[in-house]
Amino acid sequence: MIKMRVYVLLVGIVVLLATLIFTPNIDSFAEEDDTKDYVFFLHWVNETEASKDIQGYSVRNYFDTTQDFERVNHTVTSGTKWKEDWYLYPVLAGDFVVEEYTLGIWMYASGGQKSAQITLSIYEVTNASENPEGTLVASKNFGNVQLFTTPHFEIFSANMTPHTFPAGSSIRIEISLTPGTSTYITLLWDTPTADSRVILKGQPGMKIKDVTALDYNRSTRTGFLLTTSNKTVYFHAVLTDPFGGYDIKWVNLTLESPLGEIILDNVSMTRVGGTPISYMADYEISWNYSSYPPGRYNITVWAVDNNGYNYYTHFGYYKYGQYQDVYTTYITLGITYSVAFKAVDSKNLPLPRAEIVVKVSGTTVSSSITDDTGIVVLEMFGGDYDVYVIWQGCIVAHQHVHVSENVSRDNPITINCSVYYPIFRIVDSHDLPVSDAAAYITHPNSTTSAIPYKTNENGEFSLSRVPGGDYRIIVWWRGIEVADTSINVSANAVYTIDCTIYYIAFRATDTAGMGLSNAQLIAYNNLTGAVMAFSTTNESGAVTFRLPKGCFNVYVYWHDVLVGQITPLEVSKDNNITIRCSVYYLSVKCVDSKGRGIEGAFLRVYRGNEIIDGTVTPSNGTARFKLAEGNYTILIDYRTTYLLSKIKVKKEINVHIEGNCTKTIKIPSYPPPLYKTNAFILGMLIAILIAIIITLLIIRR
């Protein structure tokens, strides 16, 4: 008793392993490849059953696709060389091409070497009454196979040149066993536990060849009138199966209304033609369309064969794998009309490549794309519809339409669409245009332009043929975002976008508060260092920059010297800003040896070798210079005539400027002594000449 329980347990475990290992992986095959692994279970005719007739030849061992197992394993044991074979029953109803054959057999060995020489062969049987063995198609010797002492599932698989077994023939699988010395071999099959099987890899399998609809007179139709008194429809499906009609497990039909509602949900069809051994089988189901609306009704027929059923149940995959087929078609109820629609934009121009969608109660029943003239022609049943136009992913029109007649292309139903040609104008805080701004646009369909739109000299850019709706527009100017706004486009109009671009009026002054003319002002982006604005002050020291909202560094240069700065400068509105610069006043007084101011002396101011300024001293001898902080050289060049003597004096001094200051330049050699002047010499000569003349006159007397 204990041995029996252990035996049953071992058999159960091996069954599970064999099922997982040997069950074909149907889902690994591509759908378009019709080649599959077809599983046939081995059966045995017991003493109470009739033998199976194969072309007038009776057999007890056979294989088919059913799970008609016995309750007790059929076993065969032998200690000598012997052959065991099984026939495909019933014979093929259609041609079947085999490219690989496999025998999965439960077996075990006892005594001796517990091994056997095994050969597997496949035969084509076309006239079993005269040649029951048939014609050998392929054979493979597996050599000496070591076997288990308890029932195990052994697999013997062999490839072969693809061979077509014709309709009406049977396939015989033969295993030849030569046991080892003193070895007894036992084969088991025909129970759910000992589910020995033949696997034939080939094609074709079960197929749905055609699905048609017939009216109450059994006439094939695709369109059915609503005015007919008898509204019965027969849905008819024709299937083929090379293994015979018995291999078709289920044929079901699903019927869907024009609105997507399921009317018949995977309902079983009844077999009305064919036999368990015929190649073709007919299935049918009826339906009455009274009270159903006009439109297109979609039909789906689904069928599964015994292999799919076994795959789901016996092998426990809980799906049907590739052992199923689907066929789709449709019928129509009511009269259809040809209806032309024309989509036009806001300028009444045709809208090509727009999608026209027709719906009933929110469900799409038809759709198509307009041609280059903006026209599309749809086949529609009579009734009321909602027609939508989709352009660039947005609904740009919705119109209610009643269809009761044909509408030609020459006089189509015109649908005015919310498709516009907007112009966007970018302005600053003074409502003045901003040129060369970059605008990134997110359209109503949520797509964003990868390349920005650039504004022209009028601060404008335009879009052509875009759907109405909300547009998010982000504007950048000189590397800074100056606007992020949403604009609802609903007309062909100019839409103004106000930007955070402001006017900053600068006035550069010296330390005395006087305007600093010809000073260079530069504004840099505080983060990137980019130059945002550059200009030169006017005579009053003023200059105006247009700057975006942000943080900047502003520098003032005068005579190439940095004299002032604002770091940082926060810009958030129009503003007037005075920059007091490090520019000072230098007073230079030129005096003679007696401390009197010298008029007419030419003064030059140098920074290095560069002349900065120059002037001529006035009557008081004092000249005034405006200078930036730094080191300078003052050169005096004084040229005049004093008492008939030419005076030429050059002198220079070095000055460091860091504030207002006065420097006196004294010329000690001016004026020269009287006796050193030409006037004195001339006077002396004249005096001497007069003395000589007087002396001569006296002598002559």
Is residue 569 packed enough to be buried (19+ CB in 10 Å), middle (13-18) or exposed (0-12)?
buried
Largest Cα–Cα distance of the chain, in whole Å?
202
Average pLDDT over residues 190-218: 96
Is residue 661 packed enough to be buried (19+ CB in 10 Å), middle (13-18) or exposed (0-12)?
middle
**Is pLDDT at 395 greater than 50 in this prediction?**
yes
Residue with the two structure tokens 């600093």: 516
Lowest mean pLDDT across 17-26, 79-88, 239-248, 297-306: 17-26
What percent of the chain lies above the pLDDT cut of 90? Answer: 77
Backbone angles phi, psi at 5, to 5 degrees: -65, -40
Whole-number Cα distances in Å, 226 to 294, 336, 629:
8, 12, 103
Average pLDDT over residues 430-447: 96
Q: What is the DSSP pairing of strand 438-442 with strand 469-477?
A: antiparallel
Residues 480-526 pLDDT 10s: 999 999 999 999 999 999 999 999 999 999 999 999 999 999 999 99
User: Residue 210: helix, strand or coil by DSSP?
Assistant: strand
For the four alpha carbons of 428, 432, 438 and 444, in that order, the dihedral sign comes to: positive
Residue 393 — pLDDT band, cuts 50, 70, 90?
very high
Amino acid symbol at 115: S
Long-range pairs of 355-359 with CB within 8 A, sequence gap ≥ 24: 355/389, 355/390, 355/391, 356/387, 356/388, 356/389, 356/415, 357/387, 357/388, 357/389, 357/390, 358/385, 358/386, 358/387, 358/388, 358/401, 359/385, 359/386, 359/387, 359/388
Is-contact 462 422, C-beta < 8 A?
Answer: yes
What's the full length of the chain, in residues? 701
**Helix ranges (DSSP H) in 409-525:** none
- Mind giving me the DSSP string for 353-410? TPEEEEEETTEEEEEEE--TTSEEEEEEESEEEEEEEEETTEEEEEEEEEE-S-B-TT
Using alpha carbons, select from 129, 126, 206 the residue that is nearest to residue 167. Answer: 126
Residue 550 — pLDDT band, cuts 50, 70, 90?
very high
Average pLDDT over residues 572-584: 96
Cβ-based neighbours of 227, under 8 Å, separated by 6 or more: none
- CATH of 336-418, picked from 3.60.130.10, 3.40.50.1000, 3.90.580.10, 2.60.40.1120, is 2.60.40.1120
Residue of higher predicted confidence among 8 and 630: 630
Long-range pairs of 232-235 with CB within 8 A, sequence gap ≥ 24: 232/286, 232/287, 232/288, 233/286, 233/287, 233/288, 233/289, 233/331, 234/284, 234/285, 234/286, 235/211, 235/269, 235/284, 235/285, 235/286, 235/287, 235/299, 235/301
Number of Cβ atoms within 10 Å of the Cβ of 434: 23
Separation CA 132–CA 170 (nearest Å): 10
Strand partners, 437: none
Domain extents in the chain: 2-203, 207-333, 336-418, 421-498, 501-577, 583-676
Average pLDDT over residues 55-79: 91
**Helix ranges (DSSP H) in 267-337:** 306-312
Average pLDDT across the chain, whole number:
91
Q: What is the CATH number of domain 2-203?
A: 2.60.120.260
**Is pLDDT at 18 greater than 60 in this prediction?**
no
Is-contact 332 223, C-beta < 8 A?
Answer: yes
**Is pLDDT at 577 greater than 90 in this prediction?**
yes
Q: What is the CATH number of domain 583-676?
A: 2.60.40.10
Cβ-based neighbours of 376, under 8 Å, separated by 6 or more: 340, 341, 343, 356, 368, 369, 370
Tokens of 498: 């106000």
Task: Classify residue 16 as left (phi > 0), alpha (psi -120 to 50) or beta.
Answer: alpha
For the four alpha carbons of 383, 389, 394 and 397, in that order, the dihedral sign comes to: negative
- Residue 322: the pLDDT is 93
Tell which CATH architecture fits domain 501-577. Sandwich (2.60)
**Is pLDDT at 309 greater than 60 in this prediction?**
yes
Is residue 204 packed enough to be buried (19+ CB in 10 Å), middle (13-18) or exposed (0-12)?
middle
- Residue 73: the pLDDT is 84
Average pLDDT over residues 414-425: 98
Residue with the two structure tokens 């076993």: 75
Backbone angles phi, psi at 8, to 5 degrees: -60, -40
Residues 609-648 pLDDT 10s: 899 899 999 989 899 999 999 999 999 988 887 777 788 8
Amino acid symbol at 640: T
Lowest mean pLDDT across 145-154, 343-352, 376-385, 455-464: 376-385
Number of Cβ atoms within 10 Å of the Cβ of 62: 23
**Is pLDDT at 6 greater than 60 in this prediction?**
no
Is-contact 217 142, C-beta < 8 A?
Answer: no
Q: What is the CATH number of domain 421-498?
A: 2.60.40.1120
Average pLDDT over residues 182-194: 94
Measured at the alpha carbon of residue 261, what is the angle toward residues 259 and 266, in degrees to the nearest 5? 140
Cβ-based neighbours of 410, under 8 Å, separated by 6 or more: none
- Residue 33: the pLDDT is 60
Using alpha carbons, select from 283, 276, 313, 315 the residue that is nearest to residue 301. Answer: 283
- Residue 679: the pLDDT is 76
Q: Same fold for the domain at 336-418 and the one at 583-676?
A: yes
Average pLDDT over residues 308-336: 94
Residue 126 — pLDDT band, cuts 50, 70, 90?
very high
Number of Cβ atoms within 10 Å of the Cβ of 303: 26
Lowest mean pLDDT across 19-33, 514-528, 545-559: 19-33
Residues 205-216 pLDDT 10s: 999 999 999 999
User: Residue 680: helix, strand or coil by DSSP?
Assistant: helix
CATH 2.60.40.3880 fits 207-333, yes or no: yes
What percent of the chain lies above the pLDDT cut of 70? Answer: 95
